[in-house]
Amino acid sequence: MRKAALLLSLLTLVPAAAAAKTPVVVELYTAQGCGTCGEANAYVAKLAERPGTLVLTFPVDYWDYLGWSDTFAKPEFADRQKAYVAKLSLREPYTPQVVVDGRVQATGIKTDHVDKLVKEAARSPHDPPDIRFVSGGKRIDVGSGKAPKGGAEVWLVRYDPREQDVSVKSGDNKGQTLVQKNVVREVRRLGAWKGRPAAFKLPAAAEDGLKTVILVQGAHGGRILGVAQQKK
């Protein structure tokens, strides 16, 4: 009986969810030890205020050897960037890098180019699956839709929405204060999505004050198909 009710819930997701415009997802790969990242950090902090845009800042740790250990970096953030390197046929990961909707990328210091990519993404057609938080935010339901070749994945992202000032005391940015906003604190693959209705349990957040986002995305760093943000 409970299984039947769950299936009914998945098949009858609120139509308004599908009608809501999917935000453009802008991922910034940055590092506090990267001497050219300050401008990109400041740019995406302003971009985060633009309606219809979801900025996610992923600090990476591969510049720590320059003398400053990034206070927010996690190895899984660099792993996510490496998936884009392979998918987008790049030679190697770099910072500051901006990835837009998992489809295109640009260096974060070319802000005019990034802005153009974001505007183009906003005009692009989207046909996302319905995504809904249920059971008090303890479960996510993803409805039916067209999955890309190779399937798709459902990702949990939790980020800190505050604008934070980081004082760097050593390395290339010694003496500088860097602005960082929407810093990701957790990213986790919840499972596969093959175009059929599916449900996924959500783990409790490890920190207070974080915002939760669900991304339905082509496998192994593919394009982002759908986005849901939990409202509190």
Could you report the per-residue pLDDT of 122-153, keeping only the tens digit for each?
A: 999 889 999 999 998 899 999 999 999 999 99
The number of residues making up the chain comes to 232
Q: How far apart are CA 178 and CA 176, in angstroms?
A: 6
Could you report the per-residue pLDDT of 26-58, keeping only the tens digit for each?
A: 999 999 999 999 999 999 999 999 999 999 999
Q: Which residues contact 84 (CB under 8 A, 6 or more apart)?
A: 90, 97, 99, 102, 105, 221
CB crowding 55-74: b at 16 or more within 10 Å, else e? bbbbbbbbbeeeebebebbb
Q: What is the pTM of this model?
A: 0.91
Mean pLDDT is lowest, of 134-138, 174-178, 193-197, for 134-138
In the prediction, which pLDDT does 20 show?
61
Assign 231 a pLDDT band (cuts: 50, 70, 90): confident
Domains of the chain with bracketed CATH: 2-229 (3.40.30.10)
Could you report the per-residue pLDDT of 66-119, keeping only the tens digit for each?
A: 999 999 999 999 999 999 999 999 999 999 999 999 999 999 999 999 999 999
Q: How far apart are CA 150 and CA 39, in angstroms?
A: 36
In the prediction, which pLDDT does 5 show?
47
